[in-house]
Chain A
Amino acid sequence: MCWSSPARPSGGSYCARTGDDVNIDAAIVGIGTSAFGRGLTESQLALAAQAFKSALADAGLERSDVDGLSVHLGWPLGPDYDRIAEAFGLEIRYVNQAWLHGRFVTSALQHAMLAVSAGLADVVACVTAVSFTRERGFLGGPGDVEGNREEGGTHGEAPPYGLTAPAGGAAIAMQRYMHLYGATSAQLAAVPIAMRNHACRNPRAIMQEPLTLTAHQAARMVVDPLRLFDCCLISDGAAVVLVARTARARDLRQKPVRVIGMQGTRSGRDEFIFAPRSLGINQQSARRSADRQIDFEVFAQAGLSRKDVQGFYTYDASSPLVLFALERFGYCAAGEAAAWVQGGRIELGGALPVNTSGGLLSEAHVAGWNSICEMVRQLRGTAGASQIANAAVLQWGTAWGDSVMLAA
């Protein structure tokens, strides 16, 4: 049997598409983090162990219950799956490990959800443990394999011309976006200011001082039009998210957080990782096309509309990515996001709070998993000073078009 509505009282699977018999039956049953910081002295594996133990305790599971691993960022930024299994004494029967790039946060979570749905594992641990400060030379520098992919991939890097860091890809997209729609750096500032306001309510967050528009505008330019506070933190930390079937989840310590819809990464000539479709970057067409239903599958699967979503969570490696993600999922029309985010609309208490723990811009750069942990706390009702009242449905969605809808 398969359901399509999240309104049912307790757990169960949903159909990935009406008429198909693919049942996604997965819930997040435990979360754990290490401390977040800059210049942490522990190894990535040690940070992972802290988060792993914390997640097991949170879920009420034993180490021996974990039989799957989904690793987002491996060596050299983080530990690979085989080192994790070896070092933690795990017996693993399902593994997914993505290539070393932030874009795969969603697919790492989706692989875990698909694996438990298909019975390939009972409990999958999504493990992300990064030491960006220790491996700083790797980021956009001479050791950055991503930046030296043949022709740079759809991420914008062109090492021979000195465009070598992810922020560069976001910068060329934002520059064109500003040209087309008249958006300004001062409008863009609303994104990092909102993230900072959220971080100030969150004792785990690295950044604890409010950010003013004046300070944003006075900060040094990094890669035009992105200023210092438009670029995420370079930080260290680990997060572990445990995924199991809903039936298993009901027997565990925490109120399960169910997946009620998802959609995968978009790719093709009309896509650029750091831009909406058809912005005219790389080989994208330069004409914004009408919305396609296929890009909103996550809502149809969940049987929900945007107005049902109480908070939006996204990979905010730089400020423009928040604007582009909001446009991707239709919260505002093409070119409107810079104006739409003004006036506290994406802050707690606003119409659509975004990244309520402070995101990569102000909590920590744990590759988005810090925000996924925050979604779980929100849906359990344990988000403390950051709590969205009666949070029941939250969306994770990225600028590259993938998404997971979570429900209490």
Chain B
Amino acid sequence: MTSYRKPRPRIGPDNAPFWQGCRAHRLMLPTCGACGKPHLPPAPVCPFCFCDDIVWQEASGRGHISTFTIVHKAWFPAFRDETPYNVVQVELDEGPRLTSRIVGAGDQKIAIGQRVEVVFTDIDEQLTLHGFRIVAA
């Protein structure tokens, strides 16, 4: 099916719409139908008001880097060829934070506070991963 050897997200009932959204190149957030607040990671109820009415809404795809690391050690064999590589947490403009990566950073130094915008990478027929690129503030 695929030669992709890195770990894949575990997709279940609560987060399936999120990953289906990525397939369609849309960043979707579970949002409370009662209080209106979005949350991550996807949950079956609103963590703020405990309401069951979760609706999926497309996020702006913009935010800023709230923290990051550069991984030098290859804990997974499939990541060995990429070390050192970045992992970031992005605080979306809507509020929730998402662990992802910066793609195409080139010589740009990754730093907390940088503005970023979502991009999508199609891995195979089943999986599309979100990533972010640095944009001008």
Contacts and interface: CB of A to CB of B under 8 A. Distances in A.
20 contacts: A140-B75, A141-B75, A141-B76, A142-B7, A149-B10, A152-B41, A158-B87, A158-B100, A159-B76, A163-B99, A164-B75, A172-B69, A172-B89, A222-B73, A223-B72, A224-B69, A224-B71, A280-B67, A281-B66, A286-B91
A49 to B, nearest CB: 32
A162 B71 contact: yes
A224 B97 contact: no
Interface stretch (A173-181, A242-250, A303-311): A173-181
A160 B76 contact: no
Interface residues of A, number: 37
B96 interface: yes
A150 B68 CA distance: 21
A23 interface: no
Contacts of B113: 179
Nearest to A172: B67
B75 A171 contact: no
Interface residues of B, number: 39
By CB atoms of chain A within 10 A, which of B47, B67, B73, B113 has the most? B67
A41 to B, nearest CB: 25
A151 B15 contact: yes
Contact of A176 (B39, B72, B96, B112): B112
Contact of B69 (A151, A163, A282): A163
Contacts of B8: 160
A184 interface: no
Contacts of B87: 158, 161-163, 168, 172
B70 A164 contact: no
A140 B99 CA distance: 17
Contacts of A148: 7, 10
Interface string A264-282: 0000010000000000111
A275 to B, nearest CB: 10
B69 A176 contact: no
A168 B40 contact: no
Interface of A: 139-142, 148-152, 156, 158-165, 168, 171-173, 175-176, 179, 220-225, 269, 280-283, 286
Contact of A168 (B47, B69, B97, B100): B69
B66 A161 contact: no
B107 interface: no
Contacts of B14: 150
B95 to A, nearest CB: 9
B72 A220 contact: yes
